A = this chain, B = another copy of it.
Amino acid sequence: MATRGIYGGIDLGGTKIQTAIVDEDRKVLGSARRPTPTSGGPADVAAEMAAATREAAQAANVEVDSLAGVGVGSPGTIEGGTVTSARNLPGWEGAFPLGPTLEQALGCPVRLGNDVQVATDAEFQLGAGKPYDSLLGVFWGTGVGGGLVLDGKPWLGRGAAGEIGHIVVELDGAQCTCGRRGCMEAYAGRAAMEAHAAKQVEKGKQTDLFKLMKERGRTRLTSGIWARALEHEDKLAKHMIERALRALGAGVASACNVLDVECVIVGGGLGVRLGEPYAKRIAEAMQPHLFADFRPPDVHVAALGDLGGAVGATLLLADDAVPA
């Protein structure tokens, strides 16, 4: 029997799977986190998602099959229960029935939504965006995603709005993971930064980034590794974060020149991990590029932090998923 008002949420990221169990006020009762598999395929990713949900349920002291429903914020193209071409996830070019697979594994209803949009909605409804009618969510993580709320409502365009990571900040600039050149994400996305750092090391540049990665038992330069390297004043890490901030400043300011929103909320793995001082630096980097520079948008760190995506995913289950 479903527990009325207890929901699960899964944030499927390129680096980690974050889960949360919440009550009907979206108070977090338990959470868990697992690295996103780097090999295998969608089925392996789904298995890890189910496992991380069970782990969070255990922490919350509830059974997964008693949940009123589980919401999933996913990258890629979402149609009903199917996810297609999820970038940054292993072997996920084609269509995979993620919804039915998770329903089978967890024994409760599952709803899918766009990862960035659910995180944006969470901040708008529950987090740093509450005082505003219009905002831009900047999710600075593996990639750089963007979510829009205009006049109190999500703006999705024809389904692909908010791709701020692919604002061109440098014509013929750095290679982006999307295959294009000069995108903001090519300078600021964690994945692109890792590839760039590896190349710099090949060229003989000194850095502790990869040493720290191994020490911490990681296989990727996670947000935590970047934060640690910055604390250690690692020269390459500092240089590359400056480069990322410069691109974020231009790209986010460009989006604000187009939209003139009241507020920018900085989330994502790097955004949340680096926190307030770096949100301030993004605001500073935006300033020279803002057309209406006399009244820049407010810039805040995502108030729901790392859990925003998972908590936001539970909002997908607002009314209809509770069995009568």
Contact = CB atoms under 8 A, between A and B. Distances in A.
Interface of A: 134, 146, 148, 150-151, 155-164, 166-171, 173, 178, 180, 182, 246-247, 250-251, 253-255, 257-262, 288-289, 291-292, 295
Contact of A162 (B157, B246, B258): B258
B155 A250 contact: no
A258 B163 contact: yes
A148 B134 CA distance: 15
B250 A171 contact: yes
30 contacts: A134-B158, A148-B258, A150-B150, A150-B155, A156-B260, A157-B259, A157-B260, A158-B261, A158-B292, A158-B295, A159-B260, A160-B257, A160-B260, A160-B291, A160-B292, A161-B260, A162-B258, A163-B292, A166-B257, A166-B291, A167-B254, A168-B250, A168-B254, A168-B289, A169-B170, A178-B291, A180-B288, A180-B289, A182-B250, A258-B259
A207 to B, nearest CB: 23
- Report copies per complex: 2
Contacts of A255: 258
Contacts of A146: 258
